[in-house]
Chain A
Amino acid sequence: MVAVTSSGTAVVTLPKDTQIKIVREFNAPKHLVYKAYTTPELIRRWWNAKRGVVTVAEVDLQVGGKWRYVMVTPDGSDVGFHGEFREIVPNQRLVSTEIFEGMPGMEMPPEQGDDSAAVNTLTLTEKAGRTTLTILSDYPSREIRDIVIETGMEAGMQDAMDLLEEVAISLA
């Protein structure tokens, strides 16, 4: 239902109450997208866009291996994420957990953080030298999913909409 334009614009949809799905096309073969996604010195160059500095990018790319990224935001605060790899199919598929270190409004000591872990499934498919990247994030609850989307916004939301997938796109 959701068209991804060839110019490559990220499309975010909410297939279920507890999910976020991101789809984006890249003008590059999938092995390079995978490389950029899994190589620490490359992650440092794109992961925080241009809004800050990635100070930590650690990747132990094996099943059961850990990853951790930390960035410093323009206002000087550290924002960290970490997790573990669960499934690795080089250049195609990467399943990993993701824990936000310091969910706003939530007490979350590192040792309890697993409760809030998202499971991210990265899928790369290539066609004519272009790669479609899909990240499907599964959250343990709708509340946590909503907090992730809000990222500082005031409004809460009673429910997600799979409907959005079909309708919002048609908005002017």
Chain B
Amino acid sequence: MARAATTADAFNAVAEPRRRQILDVLAGGERPVNDLVMQLGLGQPQVSKHLRVLREVGLVEVRGEGRQRIYRLNGQALKPIHDWVKDYERSWEERFEALDELLEELKQKEEADGSSDE
């Protein structure tokens, strides 16, 4: 279970609640730093620090526009985490597909019996 203590992957980068909050905000569209500072109610240095970590693992990207620095989310970097849950999801989906078949059968049986109130 032990995982290397490194900030160099997405798992660790999102372990910090404030960073998750930043990603949440960016999920709604790109934002200049000032917006993030306002929405999070944190100081600019702290926000910048979190943004740096997120940039290092590729979770956010930045571009300059005039004097502003605009951040946006890079969903691809979340893929390892996404995949982690995906396997679990797939195993349930297999199970549910078997349930789909069974339900079809139950529906037909019920129609044949002519009684739908149970």
Q: Do B85 and A164 touch across chains, with their CB atoms under 8 A apart?
A: yes
Q: Do A153 and B84 touch across chains, with their CB atoms under 8 A apart?
A: yes
Q: How large is the interface on B (under 10, 10 to 19, 20 to 34, 35 or more residues)?
A: 35 or more
Most buried by B among A14, A24, A166: A24
Contact mask for chain B residues 4-32; partner A; CB cutoff 8 A; 1 contact, 0 none = 00000001101110001001100100000
Which residues of B are found within 8 Å of A86, using beta-carbon distances? none
Which residues of A are found within 8 Å of B107, using beta-carbon distances? 28-29, 32
Contact mask for chain A residues 134-172; partner B; CB cutoff 8 A; 1 contact, 0 none = 000000000100111111010111110111101110111
Which residues of B are found within 8 Å of A151, using beta-carbon distances? 87-88, 91
Q: Is B79 an interface residue (CB 8 A)?
A: yes
Contact mask for chain B residues 83-118; partner A; CB cutoff 8 A; 1 contact, 0 none = 011111101111111111111101100100000101
Q: Report the Cα distance A157→B78, complex, angstroms.
A: 13
Q: Do B92 and A24 touch across chains, with their CB atoms under 8 A apart?
A: yes
Q: Do B75 and A171 touch across chains, with their CB atoms under 8 A apart?
A: yes
Q: Do A36 and B89 touch across chains, with their CB atoms under 8 A apart?
A: no
Q: Is A22 an interface residue (CB 8 A)?
A: yes
Q: Is B53 an interface residue (CB 8 A)?
A: no
Q: Please judge, given known A-B contacts A24-B96, A105-B1, whether A168 and B103 are in contact too, CB under 8 Å.
A: no
Q: Do A10 and B93 touch across chains, with their CB atoms under 8 A apart?
A: yes
Q: Is A31 an interface residue (CB 8 A)?
A: yes
Q: Do B81 and A36 touch across chains, with their CB atoms under 8 A apart?
A: no
A156 CB → nearest B CB, Å: 4
Q: Please judge, given known A-B contacts A26-B103, A50-B94, whether A163 and B87 are in contact too, CB under 8 Å.
A: no
Set B1, B78, B104: member contacting A164, Cβ < 8 A? B78
Set A35, A50, A150, A158: member contacting B118, Cβ < 8 A? A35
5 A-B pairs, CB-CB below 8 angstroms? A27-B100, A143-B1, A157-B11, A157-B84, A171-B75
Q: Top 5 nearest A-B pairs by Cβ distance?
A: A159-B15, A158-B15, A49-B94, A28-B103, A46-B98
Measured CB to CB, the residues of A under 8 A from B are 8-14, 20, 22, 24, 26-29, 31-33, 35-36, 42, 45-51, 105, 143, 146-151, 153, 155-159, 161-164, 166-168, 170-172
